[in-house]
Amino acid sequence: MTKFSDLNLDPKVLKAIEDAGYESPTPIQAGAIPPALLGQDVLGIAQTGTGKTASFTLPMITLLGKGRARARMPRSLVLCPTRELAAQVAENFDTYTKYHTKLTKALLIGGVSFKEQDRLIDKGVDVLIATPGRLLDHVERGKLLLTGVQVMVVDEADRMLDMGFIPDIERIFSLTPFTRQTLFFSATMAPEIERITNTFLSNPARIEVARQATSSENIEQVVMMFKASRKDREGTEKRKALRMLIDNEGEKCTNAIIFCNRKMDVDTVAKSLKKYGYDAAPIHGDLDQSQRTKTLDAFRDGSLRFLIASDVAARGLDVPAVSHVFNYDVPSHAEDYVHRIGRTGRAGRDGKAMMICVPRDEKNFDAIEKLIQKTVTRIDNPLAGKEDPAKDVQAVEAKPDHEEKPKRTRSRSRKSAPKEDVVVVVEAPAEAVEMKKEPAAPEVQKPAPKENRGRGGRGRGNDNKVVGLGDHLPGFIAMSFEERSEN
């Protein structure tokens, strides 16, 4: 098997890789690093979670190791679709420039002050990591010249396309010298992406990560078919259903991302969970960047248990140990489902994805099953048979805010109360039996914060062996565009 040490990387980069505890590159790394080091353009067709980031940061650091940056003229540029992803790439650079103390970088993202960014640009940076809007903002203010860019990376190009960034990307391409080296990554090759690569890449080495034979078997997937007793109670009852799903998982649910389709629902669900004593916080694009960063950091380091999120967190976010993903809403694009549940079961771990599906979402749900080519285990809504399911919901919700602390204990005690029996009735007998409420553990405590949450700690220190820098790739995600549209 290939080792990093076979790849002609700068010894100082190799040392940093070793420190981070990695030996063997993932397929995308093994494929992309050699041509990148030779100065060739690279077209990488790979999803997040394949070790994609390091497949460009490692050769970039090696190439940039020689030479020095000039003021206002960065030598390389990485474009990312969201601020969080940009920040994640920046962290990746930090990890592997450990022994390149002279290499400088700047993170140019929106929502934060220009001041620090301007200062860094003026001093001269080797690596610029940016979201398109803020980057162009700097350019327009005459603070930044892209004529010195030797290496340009476009990450998550298909998501850029989804978000309408393609004109910006084209514009940024046109501001850089055409002699630059381009490393371009996309999960799929949509026609528009194909066009861009034909225009801006020259004779690229094309690396496509092998599709996994099976579809993310380490993620157990269930769906609760849910119908509110009355339309105006849907929100309340759905939130109750969510709490039941969470409580039923007990300690197996060490932490979770809960996805909603709308920002408003993200706020509502987060607020509701907090009220019920769950350790929860929201993240979406309307929140302050400082808030977003703080929340994500807390979730990463294990001090926040539930992250309630819009699709801003659906793709690419790398939190090594997320035990559960809850889809409070069925995503309206089947592909988003794949991205969302891909936040769990990472680095070879097991994960569980649970979704609530209301009647009007059934069409979207069908599309999801079609895409993943798999039947998702149904669980019934245990509230459905009740005479007045909303009654006890409202009784609790009407209560004043509860004390913060014994959330786990509380949910347990509620569960053990006869009135609140929340045994989940299971349709599919075989696999889903474990969904039934288990006898309460004698002593319930908050799950200990995980070790090895930090950078480079991915997949280490547990039983699961992880190869390379990357994580597990849910197999069906790697289907080509054509393959998917065939269905």
Partner DNA sequence: AAAAAAG
Count of Cβ atoms closer than 10 Å to residue 481 Cβ: 17
13 binds DNA (CB under 7 A): no
Site string for DNA, 160-179 (x = CB under 7 A): --xxxx--------------
Return the number of the residue (164 or 400) whose C-beta is nearest DNA.
Answer: 164
CB 334 within 8 A of CB 370: yes
Stretch that binds DNA, among 9-17, 75-83, 232-240, 404-412 (CB under 7 A): 75-83
* Identity of the residue, 50 or 310, whose beta carbon is nearer to DNA in the bound complex: 310
CB 116 within 8 A of CB 93: no
Give how many residues touch DNA by CB under 7 A.
32
- In the complex, the smallest distance separating the C-beta of residue 342 from DNA, rounded to whole angstroms, is 17
Distance CA 30, CA 37 (A): 12
Query: CB of residue 128 vs DNA: minimum separation in angstroms?
Result: 12
Q: Is 88 in the site for DNA (CB under 7 A)?
A: no
Q: Binding of DNA at residue 284 (CB under 7 A)?
A: yes
DSSP state of 426: B
Binding of residue 109 to DNA (CB under 7 A): yes
Which residues neighbour 324 within 8 Å (Cβ) at sequence distance 6 or greater? 246, 249, 252, 253, 255, 256, 257, 344, 351, 352, 353, 354
**Min. distance of Cβ 140 from DNA in angstroms?**
7
Q: With respect to DNA, which residue has the nearer C-beta, 135 or 321?
A: 135
Query: Parallel, antiparallel, or unpaired: how do β-strands 324-327 and 256-259 relate?
Result: parallel
For DNA, give the closer residue by CB, 9 or 196.
196
Q: Which two tokens stand for residue 62?
A: 């090696």
Provide the minimum distance between the beta carbon of 264 and DNA in the complex, in angstroms, as a whole number: 6
Of 125-133, 342-350, 406-414, 461-469, the segment contacting DNA by CB under 7 A is 125-133
Binding segment toward DNA, per CB under 7 A, in 103-111, 179-187, 379-387, 414-422? 103-111
Shortest separation between residue 308's beta carbon and DNA, angstroms: 11
Q: How far is the CB of 78 from DNA (least distance, A)?
A: 13
Q: Which stretch binds DNA (CB under 7 A): 56-64, 147-155, 203-211, 258-266?
A: 258-266
The residue from 132, 204, 320, 389 that contacts DNA (CB under 7 A) is 132
Residue 310 CB, shortest distance to DNA, in Å, is 4
Within 294-353, the residues that bind DNA by CB under 7 A are 310-312, 332-333
> Residue type for 21, please?
G
Tokens of 14: 């190799």
Q: What angle (nearest 5°) sits at the alpha carbon of residue 155, between those of residues 62 and 46?
A: 95
Among 154, 183, 168, smallest CA distance to 37 is for 183
- The alpha carbon of residue 30 and the mean position of all alpha carbons in its chain are separated, in whole angstroms, by 23
Can you read off the two tokens belonging to residue 226? 């849910």
136 binds DNA per the rule CB under 7 A = yes
Let me know how many helices (H) and strands (E) the chain has, helices first.
18, 14
Please say which residue, 83 or 238, places its beta carbon nearer to DNA. Answer: 83
Distance between first and last Cα of the chain: 36
Interface pick for DNA out of 134, 180, 233, 243 (rule CB under 7 A): 134
**Residue 87 or 479 having the CB closest to DNA:** 87
Structure tokens at 411: 């949910």
Token pair for residue 471? 């994580």
8 Å CB contact between 114 and 121: no
What is the chain's percent helix, strand, coil content, to nearest 5? Answer: 45, 15, 45
363 binds DNA (CB under 7 A): no
Residue of 15, 73, 98, 110 that binds DNA (CB under 7 A): 110
Structural contact between residues 335 and 283, judged by C-beta atoms closer than 8 angstroms:
no
DSSP run (H or E) holding 297: helix 289-300
Which of 34, 44, 81, 148 is in the footprint of DNA by CB under 7 A?
Answer: 81
What amino acid occupies position 303? S
Task: Tell me which residues touch DNA (CB under 7 A).
Answer: 81-84, 109-111, 130-137, 140, 162-165, 261-264, 284-286, 310-312, 332-333
